[in-house]
Structure 1
């Protein structure tokens, strides 16, 4: 029962009763609520253990005030999303995002920050991330980049069916996934020669932020594979499904979000327990024996796939291995298991990043 409270007051009171950490901002002139930030106590515990990567996305038309709902999303070592927090704000200015990020920062111990914060090309947000999290790197979701470029190509070449997909899957693909300076120069030269109509747009809108999404640059960050939007898009789709009715009241937003959080936490705990108790069968026998039930099953799968890749490379693997898995995921790269196998050794626990080894979350 609301007991005479308006929807916003009821939402805040209900969240307080449920143990949420919350912050709010009120317009001094109108006395209207303009900003709300909330985080479930269980989500905070997860975030403190899995603070390495944070994703962001926004939903619109979810409440009667038409304020954007901004969702912050983390990743567990079992390759599952979890919602860290959400904020309802009256706008998306730099000041709004500073307010939100500062509240997010309070959930972590002093001096601790994510390795990577992954966003779309929201310039106001991109501009203030270094102010609040100076040690975190901002990476752009490549899916958002590709979608914008695909639309631009389609609009420019209206009479050619699926031309946007053709461009992003071939010409633009070689630009994004170049791993050396020479490869990038060659890909850009080919694009400039074959698609001159797109050069100015891509250079002025996207390539000025190339260090945030081109693999040549993002391969230097430990992002655990979070360079595409699929993770956040999937998590966000779930939230949108729960908030399916446009213009619902603020307390209804909270009720649905809270139910989603409660179910999510049960599922995440179950997956972590499975990794601690079931291990993972693999075809490489004793190679990963020291890691079973101490490293997530998902990480073991990544290592197995990387070892498969190494066996396909063949001779001179030490020279040909790009070591990207070690840098981006904190896992042994293709040449490591190969070298160990030839010497009859096993992969040791200390060669795996602590993220993949944290199968119980708690405050730190």
Structure 2
């Protein structure tokens, strides 16, 4: 009996001790985990073993003190818990919102030191107590999620190709499911990589260095009397070749929220014979004035080697400063306005002045007939009908808006005039809008600088050029079965696939309309129209406009191949310019010579440029005044989302009014007993 009691008591004591050990194990890591007589050949081996043991028990150890062993001292390293020490505030009172600390004064210490014979390392437990519970998970702990050298190199390689950080993290998790890295650590690696690339260079110095390194054509202007940069214009070397090959149509449009300096970014794009969009140049514009736009257009014109081949058509939105600049800088170029934006603005004003009933729909149908009228007399007849419709219904505000805002520019968008312009199917600025969207997709936020925008535009431009070359090769080497007939023998493989498809669409239209031809394809695209195609057994090569026959950008035409003088400038030797500069330099005093030296250094050594960025336009936390715009709800700081256009604001206002009226009518119906 006594033996059974002893056994029961011992069993109960064992259970009690086991429960007690399990209870206090997270707080007091036993010395036995780190007490061993094993030697480690290297310090890294010792530290890896210690950290693996601690992380297996959900604790994180960091280096608190170390000595490299210089001047005859013994080399050692002390490892402590990440919660060691106490936080000492550097300001009083330390009540800054969003700040925190993980310091709890944990006494846990381990010491690694070289052996007496200097042939290895041994470990000593200085204090094995943890005064806090073990973490439930190590996700979010800085050291636990630290990237190793291989993963860090992988992240950096992806950052160079503009892979979003969230995709980098997903890639790491897929390779190693036990990875504890967080998105903030990915951001940190990317930020440190960008800082290491730039080094001590300023934003402008880094940008100028990259532009020169990649052989970009670029121009800069600074504020008068200061070194603050005002405008910067850059163009990829292959984009210059493309522009000289396809200079016929240019689309220009500004986008916003691309940098922390809140400068508008003017993107100039063109189109190729294969219906691909390419960016001619980018231009950070100081202010959207006529003078700034003229400077941009003059920079664009300087990219053309043959000034007799300036753009024939330019497409923009209704920016009065840009309209004025284009008429001065490109007087012989046809200026078109974006038809899509015009129709949207007219629709918004129709909803505001006319309403949203059936009559408003009739007004918009009449506006569509007005814009699509093929001849000037028909255009004028439709305008009289539209004016009379609005006059009879007392909607003259809408008619006045159309007349004073848009019809003064009727030659720039109405088909009675644009159908006689060779615009190759480009009557809207949608290509530029699409280019803006692609650029902002790579930028991801508007808190970068112009150098960041250049990095994104460079990667985007390079990818587009690859697509354009591939489209050229497809047009020359691939034969669509639809075009294997003898009718296309003379042009097949010598013109773009887009050209062949347009001709086939014209033949289909001719068969559908009974042979009636409006010669539209010939006048707007430079291709044989239906009446011409009916006379051909085989389409002659000469009947195709040179635009469609250009399937390479390597050949850049010049005005006179036997002369080095282009656009009034000598592009060969520079002896006259050097001699003139030398004479000017010697005529200056010491201060003037120093200024010339700095300007020359900025040309051949851009990393020594003295240009600086403009001041940041920082938003304060004060309450905005009545007329100031407020930050939209749900819009993150640094968002790339554009501000709504006027027609979008009108649509939003009308929807809100309709919703209010519907709610009011429903409330009244409930009171009156109506269903």
TM-score normalised by the shorter chain: which range applies?
over 0.9
1:295 aligns to 2:495 (yes or no)? yes
How far the C-alpha of 1:283 sits from its partner, in A, is 6.5
Q: Deviations over 1:166-204 (max 9, x none)?
A: 754x22111111011232122112211223431100000
Distance 1:27 1:357, change over 3 A: same
1:106 aligns to 2:302 (yes or no)? yes
Partner of residue 538, structure 2: 346
Counterpart secondary structure, 2:481: coil
Partner of residue 42, structure 2: none
Question: What are the within-5 Å matches in structure 2 for residues 235-250 of structure 1?
Answer: 235-250=435-450
How far the C-alpha of 1:133 sits from its partner, in A, is 1.7
Q: Equivalent of 2:374, from 179, 182, 188?
A: 179
Structure 1 vs Structure 2 CA RMSD: 1.8
Distance 1:41 1:167, change over 3 A: farther
Question: What are the within-5 Å matches in structure 2 for residues 233-312 of structure 1?
Answer: 233-282=433-482, 285-312=485-512
In 2, distance between residues paired with 1:167 and 1:284?
A: 47
Q: Deviations over 1:299-338 (max 9, x none)?
A: 1000000011111222xx4xx4211110110001011222
In 1, distance between residues paired with 2:415 and 2:209?
A: 46
In 1, distance between residues paired with 2:274 and 2:315?
A: 19
How far the C-alpha of 1:8 sits from its partner, in A, is 2.3
Contact 1:20 1:38 in 2 (8 A): yes
Q: Equivalent of 1:222, from 422, 426, 433?
A: 422
Question: What are the within-5 Å matches in structure 2 for residues 127-146 of structure 1?
Answer: 127-146=324-343
How far the C-alpha of 1:149 sits from its partner, in A, is 1.1
In 2, distance between residues paired with 1:212 and 1:242?
A: 33
In 2, distance between residues paired with 1:23 and 1:229?
A: 25
Unmatched tracts of structure 1, length 5 or more? none
Distance 1:161 1:67, change over 3 A: farther
Counterpart secondary structure, 1:336: helix
Counterpart secondary structure, 1:339: coil
In 1, distance between residues paired with 2:359 and 2:351?
A: 6
Q: Deviations over 1:243-289 (max 9, x none)?
A: 33123211111111111011111011000110011133326822112
Report runs of 4+ in structure 1 exceeding 6 Å deviation. 161-166
Partner of residue 251, structure 2: 55
1:26 aligns to 2:226 (yes or no)? no
Distance 1:276 1:188, change over 3 A: same
Q: Deviations over 1:180-231 (max 9, x none)?
A: 1232122112211223431100000000000000001111111101112333
In 2, distance between residues paired with 1:234 and 1:220?
A: 26
In 2, distance between residues paired with 1:133 and 1:53?
A: 13
In 2, distance between residues paired with 1:23 and 1:280?
A: 44
Q: Deviations over 1:64-100 (max 9, x none)?
A: 1111000000000001100000000111100000110
In 1, distance between residues paired with 2:466 and 2:212?
A: 21
Q: Deviations over 1:37-74 (max 9, x none)?
A: 00000110111000000001111111111110000000
Q: Which stretch shows the higher mean deviation, 277-286 or 37-46? A: 277-286
In 2, distance between residues paired with 1:162 and 1:62?
A: 42
Larger gyration radius, structure 1 or structure 2: 2
Contact 1:23 1:38 in 2 (8 A): yes
Contact 2:204 2:451 in 1 (8 A): yes
How far the C-alpha of 1:360 sits from its partner, in A, is 1.2
Counterpart secondary structure, 1:227: coil
Structure 1 length-normalised TM: 0.93
Unmatched tracts of structure 2, length 5 or more? 1-196, 558-675
Partner of residue 111, structure 2: none
Structure 2 length-normalised TM: 0.51
How far the C-alpha of 1:164 sits from its partner, in A, is 7.3
Which structure is richer in relative contact order (CA contacts within 8 A, separation 6 or more)? Answer: 1
Counterpart secondary structure, 2:535: helix
Q: Which stretch shows the higher mean deviation, 110-119 or 262-271? A: 110-119
Contact 2:420 2:523 in 1 (8 A): yes
Distance 1:4 1:163, change over 3 A: farther
Q: Deviations over 1:229-248 (max 9, x none)?
A: 33332223222322331232
How far the C-alpha of 1:154 sits from its partner, in A, is 2.1
Q: How many residues align?
A: 354
